[in-house]
Amino acid sequence: MCHDREEVLDFLGMYNSYIDYAEIFYGYNEGEAIYMKCALEEIVRRFNKNPDTPPLRIIEDFRREMDFYSHFNPDTRHMFSTARNVAEGILDNIM
């Protein structure tokens, strides 16, 4: 369980490397990998923008927001669902 901001940021860096690995070895298509990386970049951006907010709250808020947006437009559903899944994967690994 890592709740320390620096530990979580380190994990996010490792997760970014995992996405590269998964794209090559697990056959994620390029679009899927791009959605995953964009989600990760947005989470890091929110970390930097909100240095006093606990890491778990930032990730949980992001997950809820992506889940909310995934229900509006069938054309963007996959993008937002992928972002939600990234956040859930991160939460599963840091809790």
For residue 63, what are its two tokens?
Answer: 């997950």
pLDDT reported for residue 38: 92
pLDDT reported for residue 70: 93
Which among 8, 94, 17, 14 has a CA at the least distance from the CA of 53? Answer: 8
Task: In whole angstroms, give the CA distance from residue 53 to residue 49.
Answer: 9
pLDDT reported for residue 94: 82
Q: Is the dihedral of CA 55, 57, 58, 64 positive or negative?
A: positive
Task: In whole angstroms, give the CA distance from residue 22 to residue 38.
Answer: 15
Q: What is the mean pLDDT of each run of 10 residues along the chain (95 residues)?
A: 78 84 69 88 94 93 96 91 93 85
* CB 70 within 8 Å of CB 84: yes
